[in-house]
Structure 1
Amino acid sequence: MASFVNVLSRLTPPPFAAPEEYVGLEYRWKLFVFRPAYFKNEVFILGALLFYVAFFFVGQSINSRKAENLVNSYRDLLKTQFSSPNVNGLVRDGHSDFFTFSTGRKNIASLHMIFRLKPYHDLAQTLFQTVWSIVDLQHNPKDDLQLDFKLFPSALPHDFVWAVVAKDELRNIKDGRWDLTFTRASENSILPPNLSVMSEFADVTEAIFKNTAILDALKDPKIAPYFRSLSITDQPRERPSKLSSPEKHVILSLVCPSPSHVNDLSALISALFPFVDSLPKITLRPETRSKLKKVRETFEKTLKVEAEQAKKEELEQAREDQKAAKRKAEEERISKLSAAEQQKILERERKRSIRKSQGKSVRKV
């Protein structure tokens, strides 16, 4: 009994001994006493938690307002261009990605306005990106806005990849846009000095620059802080693993402006619609068309070879898996036999191995 009492005394926590003298703020209510001085660490923890929650909601609000303000600024333009503008309104995908969808226009199957904004709502990511941009000067996250015009096949009679790109984007653009690996970057005296052309052939650039409206919009100095690239492409932005029907797109990539500078992009975005309407009139020299066709045929052959090789590897892997399954089933069957029967099987396998080795040595001789 004494040992049991001894164990209980060890398990029982010591009684709380309040200090006899307490100097500080104190709240009393009946039997309850609250002394804030005893909860200094908890105050800091609660303050940090409240700051994190406030940071989340403020950042979320910043991103939402930025996307909504830009969509509202161009609502009238989209209404004049599309029979079904802003279908379903501004759609949220998380707290930093938004998009709108418009359809119902000649030459344009659809327009996606895609916002990929910085994660202002995420304190950890914000701190990481801030610190990393100091360590790596090439790391410069931006609020990205893309206007992706998916064209009807008849809207672009030729297959090619072409782009105008801000020079500070040239270093990394091919990492994110596989289709632009078809092109070569070059200077063009018609464009402002901060822009470069990426084209498969010079003939393509000459044909596109016959549209003076888009040239005037690209020369507007107000767009320089926001312009990243304007591209026409018949290839996917990521390298395909198999053959598929090509889709033709006109893609305008921008740095999303602040609400006070939304109108700086009005002339450029408005010029995109007549620019798209001019694409069916593009004419290329026969030799250029032949070169473009040859490039795509060569790549299609490469994809076919890769697909055949992948299929061959899959078949080989399937055969290996089948053999492994048979071996495992045979081993399980043998393990259930008696020791004498297992010994017979092992002896039979040994003799078979000897005959095979003898046969190989005879053939070598």
Structure 2
Amino acid sequence: MASFINILTHLTPPPFTAPEEYDGLEYRWKLFTFRPAYFKNELYLLGALLFYVAFFFLGQSINSRRAEKWCAPLSFSNTHWRRVNGYRNLLKDQFSSPYVNGLVRDGHSDFFTFSTGRKNVASLHTIFKLKPYHDLAQTLFQTFWALVDLQYNPKNDLQLDFKLFPSVLPHDFVWAVVVKDELKSIKDGRWDLTFTKTSENSLLPPNLSIMSEFADVTEAIFKSTAILDALKDPKIAPYFRSLSVTDQPQERPSKLSEPEKHVILSLVCPSPSHVDDLNGLVSALFPFVDSLSKISLRPETKSKLKKVRENLEKSLKVEAEQAKKEEVSREDQKAAKRKAEEERISKLSSAEQQKILERERKRSIRKSQGKAVRKV
């Protein structure tokens, strides 16, 4: 017992003894004494932790307010109702179900709304992809990399994706109006716009370019719709990125599928105090969608558009057949390997065959146990 006590005595650290010459700030309460000078490192760590937590909640609040203000209702200001920071009432006027499931959050920087129940529009997805203000590491990286790579320019992205009913757009084509500064990034990120050629148009502001498969498409759109006035509005210049009409997916498909027609408006999401600057443009999209059925193309243009899609369909079929052949080849190789292994085992003695069977049985048991754990 004495030896055990001696061991504990040696293992126990000596009590802390404050130097007698300490003459700094200290706080005393009964038997307790606190001397801040001895906790400088802990104070710095606590300050860093509090800064990180405050940064997280502040960034989360900034993104939430930016998305929520876009969806805000009418508010009362002194003597009259006015629209403040939002399009809720615009969507209420246009859709029977303007906010299905409300504002949906995916993390702290991505938000979604879904609207449906309107003539010519199957659905409207409003997608917010905001900068990660809540994440200190990502914010520092984006700030640093923007200084290193001048082409890197992360933005608060807002996209209004109108999925159209098939009968709304009688022709298949890809067309877009794009801010010139966005041409490179949009070509890299939108496969459907690789169908187009870029050109200038005197009817548009000088900072905008046309991306169209054929010039006839642009002429027909400007002739049949009234979108030009909205695009000329100087208020939208800081926020407008692109407006596109497309029958192709944004990413290259791996197989043939039924084409979907979309009108997509891509914006820089404005701050809550400037949301109303985009009222005119967003309001103009609904009559723009309704007027797409009036577009009339020349017969030779329709033939060229049809040929482009036929060539795409052929290439997708060839790729699908090639992928199927590769899959069949891999299955044949596995079958041949299995057969060779079975022939090898059949030539072994019964004892060795029994060992192999027992090993396979144990392996199958472990696999089944692993699946059961994952299900739980």
Give the TM-score of the pair, scaled to structure 2: 0.85
Contact 2:126–2:161, Cα closer than 8 Å, also in 1: yes
Give the superposition deviation at 1:93: 1.1
Q: Residue 216 of structure 1: which of 218, 229, 247 is its match?
A: 229
Instruction: Tell me what 2:27 maps to.
Output: 27
Following the alignment from structure 1 to structure 2, what is the Cα–Cα distance between the partners of residues 118 and 281? 39
Q: Residue 179 of structure 1: which of 148, 173, 192 is its match?
A: 192
Give the superposition deviation at 1:8: 6.4
Amino acid at match of 1:154: S
Secondary structure of 2:226's aligned partner: helix
Secondary structure of 2:173's aligned partner: coil
Give the superposition deviation at 1:213: 2.1
Alignment of 1:105 with 2:105, yes or no, is: no
Alignment of 1:94 with 2:124, yes or no, is: no
Following the alignment from structure 2 to structure 1, what is the Cα–Cα distance between the partners of residues 302 and 334? 48
Amino acid at match of 1:33: T
Alignment of 1:235 with 2:248, yes or no, is: yes
Instruction: Tell me what 1:292 maps to.
Output: 305
Instruction: Tell me what 1:352 maps to.
Output: none
Secondary structure of 1:244's aligned partner: coil
1:32-181 equivalences under 5 Å are 32-72=32-72, 73-181=86-194
Following the alignment from structure 2 to structure 1, what is the Cα–Cα distance between the partners of residues 342 and 27? 76
Give the superposition deviation at 1:91: 1.2
Q: Residue 190 of structure 1: which of 195, 203, 209 is its match?
A: 203
Amino acid at match of 2:316: L
Deviations 1:161-202 (A, max 9, x none): 000000000011111100001111111111111111101111
Instruction: Tell me what 1:344 maps to.
Output: none
Instruction: Tell me what 2:333 maps to.
Output: 320
Structure 1 residues 325 and 19, CA gap change in structure 2 (3 angstroms): farther
Aligned-residue CA RMSD in angstroms?
Answer: 2.2
Following the alignment from structure 1 to structure 2, what is the Cα–Cα distance between the partners of residues 277 and 144? 26
Unaligned regions of 5+ residues in structure 1, if any? 340-365
Amino acid at match of 1:122: D
Deviations 1:190-248 (A, max 9, x none): 11111111011111111101145210111111111111000000000000000111110
Following the alignment from structure 2 to structure 1, what is the Cα–Cα distance between the partners of residues 225 and 194? 27
Amino acid at match of 2:148: V
Following the alignment from structure 1 to structure 2, what is the Cα–Cα distance between the partners of residues 15 and 330? 75
Secondary structure of 2:171's aligned partner: coil
Structure 1 residues 28 and 322, CA gap change in structure 2 (3 angstroms): farther
Structure 1 residues 76 and 117, CA gap change in structure 2 (3 angstroms): same
Amino acid at match of 1:80: D
Q: Percent identity?
A: 78
Instruction: Tell me what 2:370 maps to.
Output: none
Give the superposition deviation at 1:139: 0.6
Larger Rg: 1
Secondary structure of 2:223's aligned partner: coil
Give the superposition deviation at 1:333: 5.7
Following the alignment from structure 2 to structure 1, what is the Cα–Cα distance between the partners of residues 313 and 133? 42
Alignment of 1:18 with 2:31, yes or no, is: no
Instruction: Tell me what 1:349 maps to.
Output: none
Following the alignment from structure 1 to structure 2, what is the Cα–Cα distance between the partners of residues 77 and 106? 15
Give the superposition deviation at 1:330: 4.7
Following the alignment from structure 1 to structure 2, what is the Cα–Cα distance between the partners of residues 11 and 50? 36
Secondary structure of 1:148's aligned partner: strand
Following the alignment from structure 2 to structure 1, what is the Cα–Cα distance between the partners of residues 276 and 8? 77
Following the alignment from structure 1 to structure 2, what is the Cα–Cα distance between the partners of residues 51 and 326? 64
Following the alignment from structure 2 to structure 1, what is the Cα–Cα distance between the partners of residues 180 and 51? 40
Secondary structure of 1:154's aligned partner: coil
Unaligned regions of 5+ residues in structure 2, if any? 73-85, 353-376
Structure 1 residues 4 and 69, CA gap change in structure 2 (3 angstroms): closer
Instruction: Tell me what 2:364 maps to.
Output: none
Following the alignment from structure 1 to structure 2, what is the Cα–Cα distance between the partners of residues 65 and 81? 24
Instruction: Tell me what 1:281 maps to.
Output: 294
Structure 1 residues 88 and 4, CA gap change in structure 2 (3 angstroms): closer
